[in-house]
Structure 1
Amino acid sequence: MKTILKGLAALALASIVSLPAIAQDAPDTSISGTINVLTWPNNDRTFQALLPSFNAVYPNITVNVQGIPQANSAYLNAVQRAMLAGGGTDVAMIEIGMMALLRDKPQWVDLSQAPYNAGEFIDDFAGFTVANVTLPDGKISALPKHTGPGGMFYRSDIFAEAGLPTDPAEVGALFADWDAFIAEGQKLVIPNERWVIGNGEEIVRAMMAQAGVSYFSAEGEFQIDDPIFTTALEKVKEAADAGMISPFTAWSPEWQGAFQRGQLATALYGNWFGGLLKRAYATDQEGKWAITQVPGVDGNRSFNSGGDYIGILEGSQNKEAAWAFIHWVVTNDESLKQQYQNDDLFPAYTPATQSEWINFEDPYYGGQNVNEVFAPIQAEMVPFTLNALDPVAATAMGTAINNVARGVQSVEEALAAVKAEVEAQM
């Protein structure tokens, strides 16, 4: 199995290598001016760390970075205020969950037009990210920055303790589908002390993506009656009944601390989650974590979990400097290298996945080259169809998941509640 997985990874990486790299013109170092960049924590820290390298190329551009907390939609509100203001903000980030709300606003500069001409190289980004930023009339609202190819992070020492294999290929083979995840995963449980996953949402999000089903169709129909939602919630119930789902609320201090305490054996998230493990949640666990594919639906084990984009506002008084910045951030090798090695941010720019700096034996994962997992996933994953009501549907589904896991509602009752709540706002 290990040979098969490595062969598939090699094929995927080879196909990516064959993609044409962006023809990089010599940068115009005479470009000057000041730009204001709107983003969120901790991406503000990421940008600040990049500025010395950026200014080594563009010494005459001053970049002011403002980080707005995302809590209570604060960042979304800040972007919308910046749009209405018509000036003061030059560049803004867009998180994938906000894309459907923001991408068709006229306040974004059309990057397909001269002098940007992004259409000439947009296909060098992951295909689903291109679809997310390209409007029906051909307008390109933003450039893709990073994606979130999803995997199963797991504690190899806990797996060994439970008598399970620890090699990523062997673990991947054992946890091939969601039935196996329930059957084998419950061996990791210590009642009221150790769980397999933090929240049932990890299961539902992955299964939706693997089935190629979004909350809404391309025509805007709410798809809650699709069988995958019933199947996914039934798996949540099975996992909860087996004691596999923790009682902690995702992203709460208790949930975060559970990783440091060794109370969660796996996490089903995008590659960026590794940055949180390394630098916040499990800082002293180098060599204890590994990564493999998540269990699959009908053989599909790929899903996306996260992603961000960056664009220029029409109100910018220095679009030339703004373009120099965003183009450098998303395509420059040194920029992408620093963002990956410092924050585990996976590049949407696909030629980067052939670079040495992303293909290395990572000591945190016991010497595993995790790009052999993530690059094929990014190449294969089916994108979500984005809709402006996605946040409403996700919130309603989150409540349903927790109610099913805690035995408050049956699967049928939970889905009926989601349907009523979302359709009331359509």
Structure 2
Amino acid sequence: MKEYFKLLLLFILILTFTVGCNINSGGDSVETSSEESTEGTETEAETDTEAGGEGEETNGIDYTYDSSITGEITFWSWDEMFKDVIKEFNKVYPNVKVELVNMELGELHDNLQTTINAGEGAPDVSHVEQFQIPRFQSEGLLVDVSQPPYNASRFRDLFSEYNWTRWQSIDGKRQLALPWDVVPGVFYYRTDIYEQMGFPTDPQELGEFLQDPENVLTVAQTFSANGIYMYEFRDSPAIQYGDAVGYFDSEYNYLRNDERMAELLDTVKQGVQLNWAPQMSILFSDEGKQLVNQGKVASFPAGNNAARHLADIFPDQSGKWSVTRMPLGVNVALGGSTFVIPEQSENKEAAWAFIEYLTLSEEAWKIYVEKAVQPGVSHITSLPWFQEHTNEYLGGIQDYKFYDTLDEAIPVRKFTPLDGAAWDIYIEKINEAIDKNIDSKTILQQIEDNTLKQLGPEIEKQLTEMNGS
């Protein structure tokens, strides 16, 4: 069982954190000079219209600072694609020098926490992953970008409520970052297998069909009778619903003991009895890949960026896969990241100019989407080139447009410093309920009781810190 959890964690890290891009694990530092980036070209800033005040207007966005701003900033990330984005940034801000430092995702967050706590050595801008943001939520660690001169709230209407609030402090009083991407959970399926078994294959029709638990179990039973799996991991619907609601609200009330969780856990236990999942990664394990190649995997839930992995790993199955929304009414984001400014940054103006460009520039987003990064900002998702994009591997579906429809349905959740400890308590009892067929409501009450008992002192500590008393 421990090996399964290690595999599951590895799968989540690979699939949701890397957003389908190459990770540089060597800690390389790349400097991009303004001369290299702007040679022989006219800058966007020179051709765009003055927006009044200090800022420049590019792609309809009124940036805080105009192109005359100067400075040198260090940017930490786990992704090399920002080399190309920095070159585009320097076409608008030719006098800002950005040093990109790449390192592994885990190493980055550890180093960021160490340098922030030490009071020196932190970068001017850092890439951060959503599950890691609780490490930096305490007041005084990161710049509150809702305050002048950043005034990030003027961009509020460009983002969904979920995407905006996940980058706030737990009490919602400080905005720690502008949102960047979204990773909506979706359901990939083999159209040929679903058709062969007599089920809908149109994405919208199948998506509606699979909202009914009875239909889901009928599909699972039919597949199982033919040696085919419907899911990848046995507990996915309950686990992913939990990912959607989180563990605690802003007052640290426990959230995973509700009627919906009980219903999904009941469905999971029935699905397990039908052998609906091989309990292994089908993308990142040799055994799982073999199952896919043998036609024994009909579908699986994952983040939207899994499409790129499918195409890379199984190129001969192009046109056989499609995508629809998750079954059973589960709406969830399976990852995401953004960019923050540590309080110790010595060039916050240039850092903010860089972040505005990273998150809002159309030219930057044309680079990101090629790496399977889904924008969470409406002035990009409404553009014709975005809406009309098709994915031939997924049968010609307008994939970007479809993924965008899921953003608004993702519920708001809080990320807290106690989520990791709460997960350990939760998953142990969920597996006990599945293995021993324990009543779902009984086990969920036990999970809540155990969580509040074991984490009670830490909850009080967090509330005291948050309330300033």
TM-score by length of 1: 0.81
Matched, 1:425 2:455: yes
Per-residue CA distance 1:308-340 (angstroms, 9 max, x = gap): 221111112222222122111110012122212
Equivalent residues of 2:124, 2:341 under 8 A apart:
yes
Matched, 1:390 2:412: no
Equivalent residues of 1:202, 1:269 under 8 A apart:
no
Show the 5 A alignment for 1:322-361.
322-340=351-369, 342-359=370-387, 360-361=389-390
**2:76 alignment partner AA:** L
**1:35 alignment partner AA:** I
Match in the other structure for 2:268 = 236
Per-residue CA distance 1:352-405 (angstroms, 9 max, x = gap): 111123222211211101244322221232222333222222344334444555
Matched, 1:194 2:228: yes
SS in 2 for 1:365: coil
**1:288 alignment partner AA:** K
Higher gyration radius (CA) = 2
Equivalent residues of 1:288, 1:364 under 8 A apart:
yes
Equivalent in 56, 74, 85 of residue 36 of structure 1: 74
* Residue ranges of structure 2 left out of the alignment (5+ in a row): 1-58, 457-469
Match in the other structure for 2:85 = 50
- Deviation at residue 260 of structure 1 after TM alignment: 4.9
Match in the other structure for 1:274 = 307
Show the 5 A alignment for 1:372-391.
372-391=401-420
Equivalent in 111, 116, 138 of residue 145 of structure 2: 111
Per-residue CA distance 1:154-208 (angstroms, 9 max, x = gap): 12122123232221122123212233212123323366x5311111342114444
For 1:104 and 1:137, the matched residues in 2 are separated by 12
Equivalent in 376, 382, 394 of residue 365 of structure 1: 394
For 2:194 and 2:414, the matched residues in 1 are separated by 36
SS in 2 for 1:380: coil
Match in the other structure for 1:78 = 111
Equivalent residues of 1:156, 1:288 under 8 A apart:
yes
Per-residue CA distance 1:24-68 (angstroms, 9 max, x = gap): 34974444443322333xxx1332343332333334422313222
- Deviation at residue 80 of structure 1 after TM alignment: 1.0
Show the 5 A alignment for 1:300-311.
302-311=331-340
Q: Report the aligned-residue RMSD.
A: 2.9
SS in 1 for 2:302: strand
Task: Tell me: CA distance 1:25–1:390, structure 2 relative to 1, closer, same or farther (3 Å).
Answer: closer
For 1:321 and 1:358, the matched residues in 2 are separated by 29
- Deviation at residue 149 of structure 1 after TM alignment: 2.1
SS in 2 for 1:116: coil
Please say which of residues 242-251 and 304-313 is displaced more in the overlay: 242-251
For 1:26 and 1:415, the matched residues in 2 are separated by 48
Higher relative contact order (CA 8 A, sep 6+): 1
Equivalent in 164, 185, 209 of residue 220 of structure 2: 185
For 2:77 and 2:235, the matched residues in 1 are separated by 26
Equivalent residues of 2:166, 2:413 under 8 A apart:
no
Equivalent residues of 2:241, 2:331 under 8 A apart:
no
Task: Tell me: CA distance 1:266–1:395, structure 2 relative to 1, closer, same or farther (3 Å).
Answer: farther
Aligned residues: 391
Equivalent in 55, 67, 72 of residue 103 of structure 2: 67
TM-score by length of 2: 0.74
For 1:388 and 1:315, the matched residues in 2 are separated by 22
Matched, 1:158 2:193: yes
Match in the other structure for 1:14 = none
For 1:67 and 1:255, the matched residues in 2 are separated by 30
**1:34 alignment partner AA:** E
